[in-house]
Amino acid sequence: MSTIYILWLRQLKRYVRSRSRIIGSLGQPILFLLSLGYGFGPIFQRAGQGNYLEFLAPGIIGMSIIFTSIFSGMEIIWDRQFGFLKETLVAPVSRFNIMIGRTLGGATVATFQGIIVFVIAVIAGFRPYHWGMVPGAILMMLLVSLLFTALGTAVASLLEDMQGFQLIINFLVMPMFFLSGALFPLQGLPAAIDIIARIDPLSYGVDGFRALLVNTSHFGLVQDIGILGIVTAAFLLIGSYFFSRIQV
Amino acid sequence: MNIIEVKNLIKKFGNELIAVDDVSFDVQRGEIFAFLGPNGAGKSTTIKMLTTLLHPTGGSIRLNDHDPAREADAVRHSFGIVFQDPSLDDELTAYENMEFHGVLYSVPKATRRERIEQLLKFVELWDRKDDLVKQFSGGMKRRLEIARGLLHHPKILFLDEPTLGLDPQTRNHMWNYLKELNTKEGITIFFTTHYMEEADRIAQRIAIIDHGKIIASGTPEELKSQAGKETLEEAFLSFTGKTIREESGGGLDSMRQHRRMWTRR
């Protein structure tokens, strides 16, 4: 237990101390929210889909969470390069606990990022349909964060250095974000895109945020939570398996 | 009684590179043992296998009666290590790095507080305890790594070139402390160094490794008389020759990396 706690605490301390990273990682969501939100707003309205900012904000929360989570999970590569990973790997504690501590820490950080984006969206004019649902939405953020931090950990356990990072961002994270329905409704899509969107775990995350924040849902909240829960458990298992096999 | 038993240990990277080639040696409980060899001889690879960080290709290891490859957790309970290259978290303070280590090694809170203060004072970093490690100089980081390695009192302490880049004062200071730990608590000390005079003065027994093979072993006196030389440095040179070795780290690492990128472990 104390192992999990100290690793969680370490992730948090690193996050709080890197102010430039916090501010830097907010640039992208703000840009998306303002340019897309205000830019496509009128067209979306004319197409009879209602307020685009309201539709988009949950998607941008999802975007900020997936990027922060994957990045947190992949911090293992930094630790490997700076040598700190060895310090944790030779310690007499189970690697499963180390992985869980790190993942919880990364997920907490990503949830914070999601909350900050939510606040920014509110400032930009977004209103949740019921404020009482916001705590539920935050729990949902934590679940989605856990899922993607575990995925980042699994991927990072297989990589030796940062050279593979760009590959992961461009061929894994970007497609998951763009095809998740974060930016457009999932109704009436071409079959291929529809299938990808159904495989993409972020689709269920964004859909869950919409269910809780704006009371619209494509899959239904129960299915969202069910699928996210199962995938998170699977990624945690896969991640801890790969992590336990790391050799330095 | 032996605390470390290594038999016919082999480590290959890919098909070509044999980093450790049929190495056998024993270390007795409570002994101060020096593992010497030129750069790229296989010292660090051997230590990584002893400390569960790498799996051997062949041969067997018993460390405190456990097998590092199969009983990693039991083995990890028995040793502490000061690595050759840095392993601190730069974004944490000196104190937090110590605290982190103490918690991982479940040193009880009161003992932890007390020892952290004692050790940080010992390496003269107590007044910098709340500074981030990234602000430290190379020598300060080295001292902190040593202090951290001593925070829990394991059965075996591995020190991979611990004195590299330390001034004679700190070096002297550190060895006195280690010798005291060795006599008082019976901690076995396994270290590598390039300072032959240090090995001669500190080690009770020495093994010399070159090109992945053990080429000589014994007490410092035995090695000197085997080689027929006055000092350990001369004996070492007569065993290992005078050619300067390629620093194999780079080549070895990149080979491993390629192998890992394209093959499943």
Q: B-side interface with A, Cβ within 8 Å?
A: 48, 51-55, 73, 76-77, 79, 81, 83, 85-92, 96, 99-101, 103-106, 132, 256-257, 260-261, 265
Phi, psi dihedrals of residue A50, rounded to the nearest 5°: 90, -155
Query: For chain B, what percent of residues have pLDDT higher than 90?
Result: 71
CA of A95: which chain B residue's CA is closest? B73
Contacts of B90 (CB under 8 A, 6+ apart): A82, B132, B133, B134
Which residues on neighbouring strands pair with residue B189, listed in sequence order? B32, B157
Examine the pLDDT at B258 and tell me if it is beyond 80: no
Q: How far is A131 from chain B (nearest CA, A)?
A: 37
- Order of strands across the sheet with B213-218? B79-82, B156-160, B188-192, B32-36, B205-210, B213-218
Calculate how close chain B gets to A232, using CA atoms only, in Å: 24
Per-residue pLDDT of chain A (248 residues; tens, 9 = 90+): 899 999 999 999 999 998 888 888 889 999 999 999 999 999 999 998 889 999 999 999 999 999 999 999 889 999 998 899 999 999 999 899 999 999 999 999 999 999 999 999 999 999 999 999 999 999 999 999 999 999 999 999 998 888 888 888 899 999 999 999 999 999 989 999 999 999 999 999 999 999 999 999 999 999 999 999 999 999 999 999 999 989 88
Q: Give the integer Cα–Cα distance in Å for A2 and A21.
A: 28
How high is the pLDDT of residue B250? 47
The nearest CA of chain A is from the CA of B223 a distance in Å of: 33
What sign for the dihedral angle of Cα B146, B147, B148, B153?
A: positive
Judging contacts by C-beta atoms under 8 Å, the chain B residues touching residue A5 are 103
d(CA B13, CA A244): 20
Based on the number of CB atoms within 10 Å of its own CB, is A135 exposed (0-12), middle (13-18) or buried (19 or more)?
Answer: exposed
Contacts of A85 in chain B (CB under 8 A): 87
Please give the angle made by the CA atoms of B237, B239 and B245, to the nearest 5 degrees. Answer: 60
Residue in B92, B100, B151 to test binding to A, most A beta-carbons within 10 Å:
B100
Which tokens hold the place of A21?
């990273």
* CATH code, domain with B243: 3.40.50.300
Chain A interface disruption, residue of B89, B105, B133, B263, most A CBs within 10 A: B89
Domain count, chain B: 1
Does A83 contact B53 at a Cβ distance shorter than 8 Å?
no
Number of H helices, E strands in chain A: 11, 0
Q: Is A92 on the interface with B (CB under 8 A)?
A: yes
Domain holding B7, by residue range, is 2-262
Query: Are B213 and B225 within 8 A, CB to CB?
Result: no
Question: What mean pLDDT, rounded, does chain B reach?
Answer: 89
CB contact under 8 A, B104 and A6: yes
Is the CB of A90 less than 8 angstroms away from the CB of B86?
A: no
Residue of B nearest to A5 (CA): B103
Return the percentage of chain A with pLDDT > 90, whole number: 82
Distance CA A24, CA A3 (A): 30
**pLDDT tens profile B195-238:** 999 999 999 999 999 999 999 999 999 999 999 999 999 999 99
Which of chain B's residues have a Cβ under 8 Å away from the Cβ of A92? Answer: 73, 76-77, 104-106
Rounded to whole angstroms, the Cα distance separating A68 from B68 reads 36
Q: Which of A198, A199, A176, A177 has its CA nearest to residue A187?
A: A198
* Residue written as token pair 């009128």: A42
Question: Residues B40-96: pLDDT tens digits?
Answer: 899 999 999 999 999 999 999 999 999 998 998 889 989 999 998 889 999 999 999
Q: What is the ipTM of this complex?
A: 0.88
Candidate from A89, A91, A161 with C-beta closest to B105: A91
- For residue range A11-39, list pLDDT tens digits in order: 999 999 988 888 888 899 999 999 999 99
